[in-house]
């Protein structure tokens, strides 16, 4: 199979099929598979071949991405008019459309150069349509729009051709509006970047020449014409996957060019838009020259009416004579048996598939629109390696290669001498018995005949040997070795392709393979490689201690070409192709970059100055739903742990971790994703009965300024002020809690990536960043916040921009917030959250902004990251010495000692702040939107002298005291909880609209918008639904509406529930309506008590001893 990829690189394409759920991706792929005789053309659109899982077939949706390599022939015309047939290969990846499996889309798009974006012609642009278009835009994929389910306009909606044309026009405008929004956002970023660079150039010239200079250069906007979809440009396909047909305008332009005596290229340009054919002059005219005449657009007259006529004749008004005329006019072959068949739907499929074959139109458009690997990688790879440099160089023709490694990547060099670079986007599990080397080898007819001859010769020799010994066979039963059949023809006895025979008992175990693409050189089976893990820092040399931890030697033990549910073993894979790689399961957790100096592999003692890291792709979905798992039989715990580790590696979105209580917890993207993970654990990975807890949904805690609040806890001090002492007054401190101003919390949540790159993470997290990042993902911290839907991809600012914007927002609030940006001591929780710790006035060495400025200055002077960190620490130490030298009191030495003690306890204060924000006072959930000011810290010098040697005890006590003080300060305001929220999109008819509203209201959701689709009785409803109330929501709404409405739930962030958990009725009316406790009315208290009960915390409730007497033991 070594020549399976033997096609010119220019004839290779890598595409992914993306769309909203139920828009027809897998059915569309069926028709492509039928062109390679993988499935029957009659089953195309119905078999859903790439949905290989049982639950995928049952639910009718795709849950895992599947790849298949398809071959086809293209006829090309040379300039001299001669035609030649060229072989092409297209690697197609089918992806899920459900939002729970959005991570599969992001992993597939990294491997491809183009995207087939399918849109249901009737449902139009849906939520996931926008998401997949954004993913294609971010990954620089060339999109190809496929308007699918065109048959619905005829059979279901009964639209006329003219009505269908206007509907399709509006749909294309909607898609282009989405693309335009992406372009506008990128243009603003480019404009800002250009202005900053221009200011730097002017400042540099002024410094050199000593005078102000003007720069007349203007910003040059990029041309945006090529990003939009237009049928006359050939980047729009009209299709019906269920009926197996598709076309572009070029198909009908070729049909009518000779008849209308118009050049094919010119006719293609006027077949779409406001162009009309004047029946008198036989000329094409625009709208202005209609002169009031009611002419049909050319697209309606020459394209849609013909398709409508076929459907009407075959399906609606079946007329055998008319059908025969259509078959003759279209010059297609239909057997008399099919023409006489009463199955008109099958007859329609045969006619349309021969007239407008879907596979032909799709492959032609892929070859013409989507670039080959060399062209695509020259555009995409610079953004993957150097995103900021690539954006800056986009206007000047793109980023050039800096070394041989980058040159091979940009050019997609397939040479054996080029450096091998491959990217593994995800790991996926395959049953070992399904691998080709573990399957019986099929024998050819010649091999079977040869085996038969050998067996007959063996038998003849055995009979002759017995006769020579005088042992006759007359009247005696046949010996055992002669009585058995020709065993060599039995497939069970055929040895597998490998030299070692696999153990039969091991065939049901799971093997992890890498879903990969080769970007440079050629990868051979058995090649030794270096796996570069996502934490590898390309700015540091490979020999740096940080990078050594993130490079692992591996061997590519097996290579496979993916054919949907089947794998084909190959010896080598050249650059530009997608494949599956074996032998990575122990080294690659989820994604990695594979490298070797050449096709021979990595040799011992190799040296390399620079390596590339292509990993780090975002999963595209927030893991929000958690459950704790345990086996029904405790002895199966090792099986469960092994299965959870396989699941964590094989699923790009699922997270697995062990809580401090010892519980084994998995986090999933949603209810459907959770069901799939549990099914895989029970049937494939753990293979044991498993018990699960109720779904665990995260909350957030915060506080607000409410109209009616209790008096402040500290008399005579501002609200939120708490005084604390440690060990009989050895350390006294005062903290003040305050809710963050409006806008600051959202800004901090959107810039968690920028905060994590700050100096505090570089300084304190180098050794423990892997563990920290795992914990963040496990607890649902990373990427989850109250950022509105669509803003999760906010541009991460540079440190200078971050501090400037934070300063602007805080100064805008005024009052105590003015200048607070310069006093930020720490962020929390986990040093990246949306809470602030502000230091006392005068402690300049604690300020993050000061440290970041020193670090940036050192880097600007050409220092390495390590040297810059070292020089920053020296400068901070100088600030502390300056503070000490400024003390002029009589007891100078005592004051110096006090300051040294204060410095020792600074880390304890910060740790207490981190603990208090990680577990809030209400139900031990993370806190957001708060700030704490350390107003004073005092030390008892005499007590310290008497307590010498107990520094660690004092430090530990200070941590606990600060933690408790921070919590009490938050409770001094009006506490609130924040609910994780889903955005719920539903399409429903007027018949079931009331039932949909009823289900949403029962689940404590609220309606955000309601729009009626023009010309129909369908409504598009958008609602906000708490995640904690969403379990079983989809099933309930489908049950209530008899399947007429199906929701799409997308995590949108956290929303404050404006109800105090400690609120109790006080007025006479409230007491009469709700009672003394108002337990049923206070939803916030119910949520808080539910979480506290689950965590084993104290919950105030009555315990009834005797139900008939209603006696209570205690509260």
DSSP code string of 495-551: PPSSSSPPPGGGTTSEEEEEEEEEEESEEETT-EEEEE-TT--TTS-TTSHHHHTTE
Query: How many Cα atoms sit within 13 Å of 666 on the Cβ side?
Result: 31
Residue 55 scores a pLDDT above 60: yes
Average of pLDDT values for 942-948? 66
Residue 843 scores a pLDDT above 60: yes
The helix (H) or strand (E) run that includes residue 960 is helix 951-971
Query: How many Cα atoms sit within 13 Å of 75 on the Cβ side?
Result: 4
Residue 617 burial by Cβ neighbours in a 10 Å radius (0-12, 13-18, 19+): buried
Banded model confidence at residue 885, pLDDT cuts 50, 70, 90: low
* Secondary structure letter of residue 840 according to DSSP: P
**CB 791 within 8 Å of CB 783:** no
Task: Please provide residue 56's backbone torsions phi and psi, each rounded to the nearest 5 degrees.
Answer: -65, -45
Beta pairing, strands 974-989 & 1018-1026: antiparallel
Helix 637-650 with 671-680: angle, nearest 10 deg: 130
**Which of these, 702, 732, 698, lies nearest to 720 by C-alpha position?**
702
| Dist. CA 473–CA 466, nearest whole Å | 9
Banded model confidence at residue 1104, pLDDT cuts 50, 70, 90: low
Beta pairing, strands 1048-1057 & 664-668: unpaired
Banded model confidence at residue 218, pLDDT cuts 50, 70, 90: low
Answer whether the bond into residue 829 is a cis peptide, omega within 30°.
yes
SS3 923: coil
Segment 635-689, tens digit of pLDDT:
999 999 999 999 999 998 899 999 877 889 999 988 999 999 999 999 999 999 9
Residue 603 scores a pLDDT above 90: no
**Which of these, 521, 293, 319, 256, lies nearest to 407 by C-alpha position?**
521
Segment 970-1011, tens digit of pLDDT:
999 999 999 999 999 998 888 899 999 999 999 999 999 999
The helix (H) or strand (E) run that includes residue 1092 is helix 1083-1094
Beta pairing, strands 699-704 & 664-668: unpaired
Banded model confidence at residue 426, pLDDT cuts 50, 70, 90: very high
SS3 856: helix
Q: What is the pLDDT of residue 289?
A: 81
The helix (H) or strand (E) run that includes residue 671 is helix 671-680
Q: What is the pLDDT of residue 1?
A: 41
Return all residues near 988 (Cβ < 8 A) that are at least 6 apart: 996, 1018, 1019, 1021, 1041, 1044, 1045
Banded model confidence at residue 488, pLDDT cuts 50, 70, 90: very low
**Which of these, 675, 621, 691, 724, lies nearest to 935 by C-alpha position?**
724
| Dist. CA 1017–CA 1028, nearest whole Å | 32
The helix (H) or strand (E) run that includes residue 997 is helix 993-1002
**Which of these, 1079, 1059, 1094, lies nearest to 924 by C-alpha position?**
1094
Residue 500: both structure tokens together? 């070692």
Segment 135-189, tens digit of pLDDT:
999 999 999 999 999 999 999 889 999 999 999 999 999 999 999 999 988 888 7
| Dist. CA 115–CA 569, nearest whole Å | 27
Residue 790 scores a pLDDT above 60: no
Lowest mean pLDDT among 539-553, 609-623, 964-978: 609-623
Better pLDDT: 396 or 43? 43
SS3 384: helix
**Which of these, 1044, 1014, 1047, 1013, lies nearest to 1029 by C-alpha position?**
1047
Banded model confidence at residue 883, pLDDT cuts 50, 70, 90: low
Q: What is the pLDDT of residue 1044?
A: 86
Helix 865-885 with 848-860: angle, nearest 10 deg: 130
**Which of these, 553, 561, 557, 563, lies nearest to 580 by C-alpha position?**
561
The single residue listed with the structure tokens 């739930």 is 1049
SS3 822: helix
**CB 987 within 8 Å of CB 1018:** yes
SS3 245: strand
**Which of these, 151, 214, 219, 141, lies nearest to 182 by C-alpha position?**
141
- pLDDT, the chain, mean: 84
Beta pairing, strands 142-148 & 114-120: parallel
| Dist. CA 367–CA 91, nearest whole Å | 12
Segment 584-596, tens digit of pLDDT:
988 898 899 999 9
Average of pLDDT values for 723-742? 91
The helix (H) or strand (E) run that includes residue 194 is helix 161-209
| Dist. CA 34–CA 238, nearest whole Å | 19
Helix 161-209 with 127-138: angle, nearest 10 deg: 40
Lowest mean pLDDT among 197-211, 303-317, 590-604: 197-211
Average of pLDDT values for 370-374? 95
Domains identified in the chain and CATH numbers: 9-182+229-369 (3.40.50.300), 625-696 (3.30.70.870), 701-972 (3.30.230.10), 979-1094 (3.30.70.240)
The single residue listed with the structure tokens 């008497």 is 946
Q: What is the pLDDT of residue 59?
A: 83
CA-based Rg of the chain, rounded to a whole angstrom?
35
């Amino acid at each position: 199979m070594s020549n399976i990829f033997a096609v010119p690189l220019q004839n290779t394409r890598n595409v992914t099929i993306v769309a909203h759920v139920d828009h027809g991706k897998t059915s569309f792929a069926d028709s492509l598979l039928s062109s390679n005789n993988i499935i029957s053309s009659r089953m195309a659109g119905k078999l859903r071949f790439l949905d290989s899982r049982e639950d995928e077939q049952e639910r009718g949706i795709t849950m895992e991405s599947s790849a298949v390599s398809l071959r086809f022939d293209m006829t090309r015309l040379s300039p001299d008019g001669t035609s030649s047939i060229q072989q092409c290969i297209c690697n197609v990846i089918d992806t899920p459309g459900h939002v729970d499996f959005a991570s599969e889309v992001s992993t597939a798009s990294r491997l491809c150069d183009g995207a087939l974006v399918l849109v249901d012609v009737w449902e139009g642009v849906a939520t996931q349509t926008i998401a997949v278009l954004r993913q294609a835009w971010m990954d620089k994929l060339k999109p190809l729009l496929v308007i699918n389910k065109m048959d619905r306009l005829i059979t279901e909606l009964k639209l006329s051709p003219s009505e269908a044309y206007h509907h399709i026009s509006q749909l294309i405008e909607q898609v282009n509006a989405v693309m335009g929004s992406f372009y506008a956002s990128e243009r603003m970023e480019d404009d800002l970047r250009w202005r900053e660079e221009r200011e730097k150039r002017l400042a540099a010239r002024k410094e050199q020449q000593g005078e102000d200079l003007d720069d007349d250069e203007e910003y040059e906007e990029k041309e945006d014409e090529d990003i939009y979809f237009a049928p006359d440009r050939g980047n729009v396909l009209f299709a019906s996957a269920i009926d197996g047909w598709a076309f572009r305008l070029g198909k009908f332009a070729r049909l009518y060019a000779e008849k209308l005596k118009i050049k094919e290229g010119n006719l293609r340009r006027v077949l779409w838009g406001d162009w009309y054919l004047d029946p008198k002059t036989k000329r094409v005219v625009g709208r202005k020259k209609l002169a009031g005449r009611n002419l049909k657009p050319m697209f309606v007259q020459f394209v849609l009416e013909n398709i409508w006529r076929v459907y009407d004749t075959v399906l609606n008004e079946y007329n055998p004579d008319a059908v025969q005329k259509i078959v003759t006019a279209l010059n297609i072959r239909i057997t008399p048996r099919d023409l006489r068949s009463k199955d008109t739907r099958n007859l329609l499929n045969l006619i349309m598939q021969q007239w407008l074959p879907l596979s032909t139109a799709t492959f032609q458009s892929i070859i013409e629109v989507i670039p080959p690997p060399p062209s695509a990688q020259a555009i995409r790879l610079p953004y993957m390696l150097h995103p900021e440099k690539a954006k800056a160089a986009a206007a000047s023709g793109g980023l050039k290669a800096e070394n041989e490694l980058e040159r091979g990547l940009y050019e997609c060099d397939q040479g054996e001498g080029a450096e091998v670079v491959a990217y593994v986007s995800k790991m996926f599990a395959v049953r070992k018995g399904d691998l080709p080397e573990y399957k019986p080898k099929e024998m050819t007819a010649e091999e079977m005949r040869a085996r038969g001859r050998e067996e007959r010769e063996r038998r003849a020799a055995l009979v002759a040997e017995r006769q020579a010994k005088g042992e006759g066979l007359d009247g005696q039963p046949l010996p055992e070795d002669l009585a058995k059949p020709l065993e060599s023809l039995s497939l069970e006895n055929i040895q597998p392709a490998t030299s070692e025979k696999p153990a039969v008992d091991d065939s049901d175990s799971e093997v992890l393979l890498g879903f990969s693409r080769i970007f440079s050189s050629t990868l051979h089976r058995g090649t030794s490689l270096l796996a570069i893990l996502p934490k590898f820092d390309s700015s540091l040399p490979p020999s740096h201690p940080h990078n050594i931890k993130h490079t692992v030697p591996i061997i590519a033990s097996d290579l496979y070409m993916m054919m949907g549910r089947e794998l084909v073993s190959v010896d080598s894979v050249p650059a530009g192709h997608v494949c599956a790689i074996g032998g990575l399961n122990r080294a690659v957790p989820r994604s990695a970059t594979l490298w070797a100096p050449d096709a021979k592999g990595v040799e011992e003692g190799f040296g390399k100055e620079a390596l590339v890291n292509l990993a780090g792709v975002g999963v595209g979905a927030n893991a929000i739903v958690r459950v704790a798992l345990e086996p029904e039989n405790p002895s199966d715990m090792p099986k469960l742990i092994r299965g959870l580790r396989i699941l964590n590696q094989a699923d790009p979105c699922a997270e697995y971790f062990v809580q401090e209580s010892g519980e084994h917890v998995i986090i999933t993207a949603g209810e459907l994703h959770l069901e799939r993970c549990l099914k895989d654990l029970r049937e494939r990975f753990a293979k044991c009965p498993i018990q699960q807890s109720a779904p665990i949904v995260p909350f957030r805690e915060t506080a607000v300024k409410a109209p009616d609040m209790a008096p402040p806890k500290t008399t005579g001090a501002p609200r939120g002020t708490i005084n604390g002492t440690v060990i009989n007054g050895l350390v006294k401190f005062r903290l003040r809690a305050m809710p963050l101003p409006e806008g600051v919390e959202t800004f901090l949540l959107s810039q968690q990536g920028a905060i994590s790159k700050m100096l505090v993470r570089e300084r304190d997290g180098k050794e423990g960043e892997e563990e920290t990042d795992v914990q963040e993902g496990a607890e649902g911290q990373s990427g989850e916040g109250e950022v509105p839907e669509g803003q999760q991809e906010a541009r991460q600012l540079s440190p200078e921009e971050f501090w400037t914007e934070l300063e602007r927002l805080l100064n805008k609030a005024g009052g105590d917030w003015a200048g607070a940006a310069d006093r930020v001591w720490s962020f929390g929780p986990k040093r990246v959250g949306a809470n602030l710790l502000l230091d006392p006035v005068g402690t300049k060495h604690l300020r993050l902004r000061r440290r970041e400025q020193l670090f940036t200055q050192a880097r600007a002077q050409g220092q390495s990251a390590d040297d810059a960190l070292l020089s920053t620490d020296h400068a901070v130490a100088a600030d502390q010495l300056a503070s000490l030298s400024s003390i002029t009191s009589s007891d100078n030495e005592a004051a110096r000692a006090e300051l040294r003690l204060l410095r020792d306890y600074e880390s304890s204060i910060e740790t207490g702040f981190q603990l208090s924000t990680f577990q809030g006072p209400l139900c031990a959930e993370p806190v957001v939107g708060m700030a704490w000011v350390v107003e004073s810290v005092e030390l008892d010098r005499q007590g310290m002298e008497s307590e010498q040697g107990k520094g660690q005890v004092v430090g530990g006590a200070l941590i606990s005291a600060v933690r408790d003080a921070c919590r009490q300060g938050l409770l001094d305001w009006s506490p609130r909880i924040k609910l994780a929220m889903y955005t719920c999109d539903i399409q429903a008819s007027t018949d079931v609209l009331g039932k949909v509203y009823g289900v949403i209201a029962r689940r404590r959701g609220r309606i955000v918008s309601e729009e009626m689709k023009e010309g129909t009785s369908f409504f598009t409803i958008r609602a906000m639904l708490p995640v904690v109330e969403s379990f079983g929501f989809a099933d309930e709404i489908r049950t209530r509406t008899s399947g007429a409405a199906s929701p799409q739930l997308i995590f949108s962030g956290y929303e404050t529930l404006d109800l105090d958990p400690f609120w109790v009725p006080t007025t006479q009316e409230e007491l009469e309506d709700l009672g003394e406790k108002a337990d049923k009315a206070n939803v916030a208290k119910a949520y808080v008590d539910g979480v506290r009960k689950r965590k084993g915390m104290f919950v105030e409730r009555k315990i009834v001893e005797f139900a008939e007497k209603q006696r209570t033991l205690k509260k």
